[in-house]
Structures are given as C-alpha cells and as structure tokens.
Amino acid sequence: MLLVARDEEEAISLGLDFSEAQILTCWLPENEWKWPDICNGITIFFCAFGVIHPVPPDWPSHCEVMNRDIDVLARVLRKFRGQTIRLVFVSSVLALAPRPQRSYYVGWKCLSEAIIRDLHAKQEGLFLSVIYPGRLVSRKSVLSPLSFFHTTYERFAQKLTRIADTWTGSREIVGLDARILLVMRALGLFMRAVFR
C-alpha cells in the first residue's frame, strides 16, 4: 500500500495508523520520493483531493492546494504509465445537487472531478469510478436518529473496496440521505418548472 502524505505531520500520522504502508513524501523533491519496488494491480483512491471540507473562500491558497494534488497525481500516473490503474474519486452528493451556501465547496468538487476525468481521457489503461456519498458518520445511534439515514465510515470503506475490485468505470450514489436529497431536489425543480 502506498499512501500520499502532503506534509511531515501527515506522514507521521499515516505511519502510526498504517505501519505496513509505504509513505510517499510528496512535499519533498521528486528525486527523494520512495516508490514501491513492485506494483501489481494499482488502485488510486482520492479521498482528500483538493478542497475537502466546506470552508470560507480563499482562492489563492485553494488553487495552491489543487495544483499540488494535481501535480502529485500526474507524477504517480506517469510513474506507472503502461499499467492498468483503477481511479476511485470520492466526491460529494452535493456535486449533483448544489445548494447556494455550499457553492464554493461544490465548485471545487466539480473541478476536481473534471481534472481527474481529463487525465483519465489522456492515458490508456485507466478505469475511473466517481462516488457521491451523503454524510458519513462514525456510527449510528438512537440518540441521533438522523444518523440512520447516513452511511458509516466502515460501510463506506466496504463500498470502496467492492468498487476497487471491479475493472469497470462507474458513478455511484452512496447513502439513503444522498438518494433522498436528489429525489427532493429533482421534485422541487419539477414543481418550479411546471407551476411557476
């Protein structure tokens, strides 16, 4: 397993949680990156690509973050060019049903997907899946009834593993809350289109 660390603090954290994994120290010059000796069956998960949380707009720093992530991805794809690679991008259901108060975050999610799709189109042997989850929670609890509409991290990880085991590209919506949101948004658009 190869994990990408964006800074030294993240590398330490990943090393503690995944002691068997190899850490790619992407903040260092590329000639200091340590690559695996052998790679059979490559799957790249994008679980924290670009702007990963709804945050106040900060265009210069967020462009820097996006450029860094794109650069690392492009280098990884170049390194393993010629091999079959599965790409699994975790987006958000909000990318399919944006709300005005989340437009900045959603814009970055859509831009991330567009860039990954462009890289996918330019290199043979890549299979791309995009996942649109609703809210993810540690566990479901009767103390928080809405949590039963959400997806647990464990269940989501199982879903990602299942998708990674296939060699087809797909787009999948994950979570009951995500499906309800899309249905309600579509119904609202229909009602406004017909009755206004």
Judge if 5 and 76 occupy the same domain.
no
Judge if 115 and 104 occupy the same domain.
yes
The pLDDT value recorded for residue 114 is 95
Judge if 49 and 137 occupy the same domain.
yes
Q: Which residues form the domain of 32?
A: 1-38
Judge if 128 and 63 occupy the same domain.
yes
DSSP for residue 39: -
Euclidean distance between CA atoms 118 and 115, whole angstroms: 5
Per-residue pLDDT of the chain (196 residues; tens, 9 = 90+): 778 888 888 888 888 888 888 888 888 888 888 887 777 778 888 888 888 888 889 999 999 989 989 998 998 888 888 888 899 999 999 999 888 888 999 999 999 999 999 999 988 888 999 999 999 999 888 888 887 889 999 999 999 889 888 877 889 999 999 999 999 999 988 888 888 7
Euclidean distance between CA atoms 121 and 116, whole angstroms: 9
The pLDDT value recorded for residue 106 is 92
Q: 63: phi > 0 → left, psi -120 to 50 → alpha, else beta; which?
A: alpha
The pLDDT value recorded for residue 144 is 82
Judge if 51 and 130 occupy the same domain.
yes
Judge if 126 and 177 occupy the same domain.
yes
Q: How many CB atoms are located within 10 Å of the residue 42 CB?
A: 18
Judge if 48 and 25 occupy the same domain.
no
| CB-based contacts of 88, cutoff 8 Å, min separation 6 | 43, 44, 45, 46, 129, 131, 160, 163, 164
The pLDDT value recorded for residue 171 is 92
Euclidean distance between CA atoms 88 and 127, whole angstroms: 8
The pLDDT value recorded for residue 18 is 83
Report CA dihedral (128, 166, 37, 78) to the nearest 10 degrees. Answer: -20
Q: How many CB atoms are located within 10 Å of the residue 11 CB?
A: 19
- Residue-wise pLDDT tens digits, 75-105: 888 888 888 889 999 999 999 988 888 899 9
CA pseudo-torsion sign 33, 36, 38, 44: negative
First to last CA, the chain: 54
**Structural domain count of the chain:** 2
Judge if 7 and 90 occupy the same domain.
no
Judge if 58 and 6 occupy the same domain.
no
Neighbouring C-alpha atoms within 13 Å toward the C-beta of 13? 7
pTM: 0.86
Q: At 176, which CATH number?
A: 3.40.50.720
| CA-closest candidate to residue 156, choices 170, 128, 179, 135 | 135
